[in-house]
Structure 1
Amino acid sequence: MASAIAAARARLVAWIRHLARIRYRLLLINVIVAAVPVFGMAFAEMHERQLLAALESDMIHQAELVRAVVRTSDREPSALEAALVIAARDTRTRIRILDDHGALVADSHRGGPPEGAEPPVPYLSGGESPTHVAEIPKPVALAERSEVKAALAGRYGSATRLWEKQQRVFLFAALPVMDRGTVTGVIYVTRSTHDVKLQLYRLRTWLVRLLALSLGITALITLLLATTIARPLGKLTRRAQRIAARQPVEPNDRLMRRSDEIGQLARAVDAMTDELERRARDARTLAADISHEFKTPLTGIRGAAELLRDGAAEDPEARDRFLEMIVDDTARLDRLVSRLLELARVEDYRGA
């Protein structure tokens, strides 16, 4: 169990290190930049709901104005139809007045839409919504609609319906007309979502263009940064690994000619390579010199010791001479060791 957890942790660490490479960091940054228009699409959906809510609120305000006119006017509601036509022409809103049974009393669109046919809405994928002609609406049993039933019951009613034939969405709002607590009629307002769809088309078109531009720019930036940063760093990493493995390397003049940090790093690696090669040569030369310098006194010491062993120690004069030779050669070795220590201190100071 513990070994499995350790193996999983090791794989996780290796995966994190793999993703920590510069190219993946740059890609992450570019993905975040490109994701901004995508979040803009989500904002467009929220904006659509807000626009529809604002459209419904505007419809309610229009219905309240018509209700106030109906309450305060001495004329019959049917006599207000001409005023409803003028209001519909300016606001592209169909306004109907119903009696207390849901029957139609006045209609701004009785003779057809006074504002004319709606222009088609273009699609993001190309083309546009179907074009329809302004036609006289057909009679409908309005009292059966849920929003009208709610208004006849003294409550506000609303609904959204799709006209599949022409691919249009309509909002419906119904306000009751009250007189001393009794419902005497209904103000029934209908409006197309054409304006909302047109605004959303413009917004989404801008967001799609921004998304395409962001993707193009981020792709170019990723390619540029990968070419100018990640790839040269990979080359320098492989060169440093060859140097560590004591394998021959060739200088990269193209990288060293760069004036940015990559060029500075390449020149530093090249200088390090030269310094390591110099130190290697110095070490080989020093080893040869030490071998030569140490060999002479060691040979003298060994020769004197062998002569003393072979009987020269019986002769006091020879014994003193050979002992003095050993002492001299030992002092010479001591001086060589002192010089080596001093040379090592100089190299350490130079390296610091």
Structure 2
Amino acid sequence: MFKSIRWKLMVVYLLMIVFAMQLISLYFMKSLENYHLQNHTENIQSQSNVLADFLERYFVAGIQNDRRELDTLVRDFAKQTRAEIQIIDREGVIVSDSVNPQFVGQKSVQVEVTRALLGSRGEAIRMDADSGQRKKILATPIKTNYDVVGVVYIQSSLEPIYKTLKEINTLVTTAMIFVLGITSVLVIVLARTITTPLMEVTKKASDMAEGNFDQEVKVTSDDEIGKLGTAFNQLTYRLRDALDENAKEKNRLQAVLDHMSDGVIAADADGKILIINPMAQKMIGITEEQAMIKNILDVLEIQEFKKDWLHLKKKHTFETIIEHQELMYQLHVSPLKTDEAKDYGILMILHDITEREQLEQQRREFVANVSHELRTPLTTIRSYTEALVEGADADPELRGRFTEVIQNETERMIRLVNDLLELSKLDSRTIQWKFSKIDVNVVIEDVLDRFYMQLKNKGIQGILDLTEKPAYAIIDRDRVDQVLNNLLSNAIKYTGNGGSITIKSEEVIDQGRKCIKISVKDTGTGIAPKDIDRIFERFYTVDKARSREMGGTGLGLAISKEIIKAHQGDIQISSEINQGTTLSFTLPVERGGL
């Protein structure tokens, strides 16, 4: 019970009130006692002084002559002061007593009398041995011309005063008990007024500690308790806001992790996985439930890390490349730190560099192909030039043939360099495009007319299958013309005499867009399935010898693909061995962003 703040407040308040009342009562009774004693003393002192003035003439004239008158005077004063009065001469002998006449003639040995005979007033409060009463004793010297001739000795009972004080003390005590009872009730009410809101706040806080944050206390006052309730409510509001913000931040972080293109794995100091995002799960081929019960080194199968896990945890940020399930990942490892800069785990980020490595391999192959394609004509030119220098130019027929070869190889190199420059511009997007709305059928007809003689020489039939109405699209005519040139040129190269090439245009819906689809279909040798996926790679040719013999660079289809891609279209190929090849591409009727 006494652990409750309500009881503590009640006990403390009551003790304080009792102590205060006792202190006030003690001070009051002591002050009242001093007041009555001082008043009583002043009264008998004034009576004593008056009596001493009256008795001066008796001692001057001689006490023996007026003895009866002296006793009458002393008794009268004694009645007025309600005290016992003795008159003592300069020898200390009692000459008159208002109560006990038998003491007359005896010598007084009181200390106060001795002090008065010396010229000073004697004063004391003494307990009477016979009656047990407290008495006020006062000895006043009687002086004539500064000489002490006698003493007025007065004994006054103080019992009436103390009786009155006792009655007052009883009354005060009764009042204190009554006031203490009323105060106890007020203290209980006050304690409940203070503790009830505190108990409510405590209960609400306990509920919050259990996870129920939807709490609010009633504020019924503007005092400190009311301010505490207001502060508690504000705390709950801010806590709910903070939790909501934390939940939103967690959701944002989860959304970022879920949609990252890189894999993210966080582990504690023992290697136990704490977080693994969907991309990391996909890369490693594991579910989140499976990952959470495994060690990160077992999941990644990093044998060299297993040998020195402690050293790995102590490392600062570093990167390495690992292979996992025939894929290559760039692994970025950094320590997880607390606010006190203490490591408590590691963070690993996996970046799939398989495609980048493939592109790097293609780049190396591209450089090798360029070097090879340039070296071959250069070697030929060098050989024929050396032959001419060494005397072959003396033979006009031989000189003409050598010069023709040098010219052909030079033109081949020029075409190769031009194609390379074209690809470079397409890759760097530095080409100035000139888009406009043009009838694609007109472009197709112009291209076919341009190849009329080549088709006639090989006996190849050129067939047009165009839309009945104009097929308008937003295109760069020169670039689309270049694509058609490449496709038709390749079709002529790989189509035997007596074959046919069909160029078709049609309106289609591709990915929700209205497009013009153009197809170039030949009846040539066709392409093997293993080569179709690589047909648009740079310098890739199905028959390198034949292509070089016909002056091809192996870049035509790569350039065509980039041009169609810039037109926001798509290019596709289908082919069967000895059944011919069909190359088709789409051109959107309305170009986005134009």
- TM-score over 0.5 for the alignment? yes
Aligned partner of 1:70: which letter? L
In 2, Cα distance between the equivalents of 1:29 and 1:238?
25
Aligned to 1:229: 194
- The one-character-per-residue Cα deviations of 1:85-133 (angstroms, maximum 9, x if unpaired) are 333223212222223333332222248xxxxxxxxxxxxxxxxxxxxxx
Say whether the 8 Å CA contact 2:84–2:155 is kept in structure 1. yes
Name the CA distance, whole Å, in 1 between partners of 2:173 and 2:44.
Answer: 31
Give the drift of 1:162: 0.5
Tell me: CA distance 1:46–1:286, structure 2 relative to 1, closer, same or farther (3 Å): closer
| Conservation of the 8 A alpha-carbon contact between 2:74 and 2:97 | yes
Q: Confirm or deny that 1:260 pairs with 2:225.
A: no
Larger Rg: 2
Could you tell me which residue of structure 1 aligns to residue 98 of structure 2? 108
**Farther off after superposition, 139-148 or 309-318:** 309-318
Kindly tell me: are residues 106 and 319 of structure 1, through their superposed partners in 2, closer, same or farther at Cα, counting changes over 3 Å? farther
Change (3 A) 1:162 1:192: same
- What code does the residue aligned with 1:185 have? G
**Cα distance 1:306–1:231, how it changes in 2: closer, same or farther (>3 A)?**
same
Change (3 A) 1:187 1:263: closer
Contact kept, 8 Å, 1:70 with 1:77, in 2: the verdict is no
The 5 Å alignment of 1:33-112 reads 33-40=17-24, 41-72=26-57, 76-110=66-100
- Name the aligned partner's letter for residue 191 of structure 1: S
Which structure has the highest strand share of the two? 2
C-alpha separation between the residues in 2 aligned to 1:319 and 1:276? 57
SS of alignment partner, residue 60 of structure 1: helix
Is the contact between residue 93 and residue 191 of structure 1 (CA under 8 Å) also seen in structure 2? Answer: yes
CA deviation profile, 1:275-318 (whole Å, cap 9, x unmatched) = 86688579768977996899689799x9xx99977979957479
Give the conservation status (yes or no) of the 8 Å contact 2:93–2:104: no
The equivalent residue for 2:141 is: 176
2:8, 2:253 → 1: CA distance? Answer: 52
Change (3 A) 1:225 1:166: same
- Structure 2: how far apart are the matches of 1:140 and 1:273? 97
How many equivalent residue pairs?
Answer: 272
Looking at structure 2, the residues matched to 282 and 178 of structure 1 have their Cα atoms a distance apart, in angstroms, of: 101
| Equivalence for 1:185 | 150
* 1:124-182 C-alpha deviation (Å, 9 max, x unpaired): xxxxxxxxxxxxx9889551211122233443222322024433111111223234555
Alpha-carbon distance in structure 1 between the residues aligned to 2:67 and 2:51: 10
Instruction: String of CA shifts for 1:13-53, please: whole Å, max 9, x gaps.
Output: xxxxxxxx999788767655544333331353354345434
Aligned to 2:166: 201
For 1:247, the equivalent position in structure 2 comes to 211
Structure 2 Cα separation of the partners of residues 165 and 140 of structure 1: 23
TM-score (norm 1): 0.56
From the superposition, tell whether residues 289 and 164 of structure 1 become closer, same or farther in structure 2 (CA, over 3 Å). Answer: same
Contact 1:97 1:104 in 2 (8 A): yes
* One-letter identity of the residue aligned with 1:36: A
Which of these residues, 132, 138, 143, is aligned with residue 167 of structure 1?
132
Letter in 1 for 2:73: A
Q: What value does the CA root-mean-square deviation take over the aligned residues?
A: 4.9
Distance 1:46 1:272, change over 3 A: closer
Q: 1:294 to 1:167 in 2, by over 3 A?
A: same
Contact 1:160–1:170 (Cα < 8 Å) also in 2? yes
Helix, strand or coil at the partner of 2:198: helix
Distance in 2, Cα, partners of 1:285 & 1:153: 102
Give the residue type in structure 2 aligned to 1:260: S
> Aligned equivalents of 1:319 and 1:221: distance in 2?
94
Q: 1:69 to 1:296 in 2, by over 3 A?
A: closer
Percent sequence identity over aligned pairs: 20
Residue identity matched to 2:109: E
Point out which structure has higher relative CO (alpha carbons under 8 A, 6+ apart).
1
Equivalent positions of 1:122-137 (< 5 A) are: none
Q: Distance in 1 between matches of 2:187 and 2:19?
A: 15
Task: Name the counterpart of 2:405.
Answer: none
**Unpaired stretches in structure 1, ≥5 consecutive residues:** 1-20, 112-136, 325-352
Distance 1:200-1:318 versus aligned 2 partners, 3 A rule: farther
Letter in structure 2 aligned against 1:186? V
**Contact conserved, 1:101 with 1:143, CA < 8 A, in 2?**
no
Question: Residue 95 and residue 289 in structure 1: after superposition, are their counterparts in 2 closer, same or farther (change >3 A)?
Answer: closer
Read off the aligned partner of 1:80 and give its amino acid letter: L
Paired AA for residue 76 in structure 1: D
C-alpha separation between the residues in 1 aligned to 2:355 and 2:563? 8
- Once residues 283 and 320 of structure 1 are traced to their aligned partners in structure 2, the CA distance between those partners, rounded to angstroms, is 44
Does the C-alpha gap of structure 1 residues 249 and 209 become closer, same or farther in structure 2, counting only changes over 3 Å? farther
1:201 match: secondary structure = helix
8 A contact 1:78–1:106 mirrored in 2:
no
Q: Is the 8 A contact 1:34 1:218 kept in 2?
A: no
CA 1:180–1:30 in structure 2 vs 1: closer, same or farther (change >3 Å)?
A: same
Larger helix percent = 1
Do the aligned partners of residues 191 and 142 (structure 1) sit closer, same or farther apart at CA in structure 2, a change above 3 Å counting?
A: farther
Judge conservation of contact 2:215–2:236 (CA < 8 Å) in 1: no
Give unmatched runs, 5+ long, in structure 2: 262-277, 283-351, 359-532, 538-557, 570-594
Q: Per-residue deviation at 1:214?
A: 4.8
Sort the Cα spacing of 1:49 and 1:215 in 2 relative to 1 into closer, same or farther, 3 A. same
Match for residue 155 of structure 1?
A: 120
Per the TM alignment, residue 272 of structure 1 is displaced from its structure 2 partner at its CA by 6.5
Matched residue type, 1:92: R
